[in-house]
Amino acid sequence: MKVGCLTISFFLLVFISCSALAAPIIPVGPINICGTVNEVRWVPEEMVKGIPGMSGTAGKDRVVPGHFLIK
């Protein structure tokens, strides 16, 4: 009987945890982004070398696309 209750409790805990991870993000209210642009700079495309032995994208060479940097 204890094993059955423990198993049900475990699956219930996992189900509740997974549901919490899938919860939607609460919307943010209206935002005012008025201001002064002090500097606009173009940053060209650059190649970032990966770090050998690292997993995921950190271990692979990748390209950062060109973009504007606005302050």
pTM to 2 decimal places: 0.44
Q: Provide the token pair at 46.
A: 């650059």
- In a domain? residue 26: no
Say yes or no to pLDDT of 10 above 80: no
Q: How many domains does the chain have?
A: 1
- In a domain? residue 48: yes
* pLDDT tens figures, 54-68: 888 888 999 999 999
Amino acid, single-letter form, for residue 6: L
- In a domain? residue 1: no
- In a domain? residue 14: no
Under 8 Å between Cβ of 44 and 68 = no
* pLDDT tens figures, 24-60: 888 888 888 889 999 999 999 999 999 998 888 888 9
Instruction: Tell me what pLDDT residue 17 has.
Output: 60
- In a domain? residue 6: no
**68 is in which domain, residue-wise?**
39-71
Query: What's phi and psi for 5, nearest 5 deg?
Result: -65, -40
- In a domain? residue 31: no
- In a domain? residue 65: yes
Of the chain, the percentage scoring pLDDT greater than 70 comes to 70
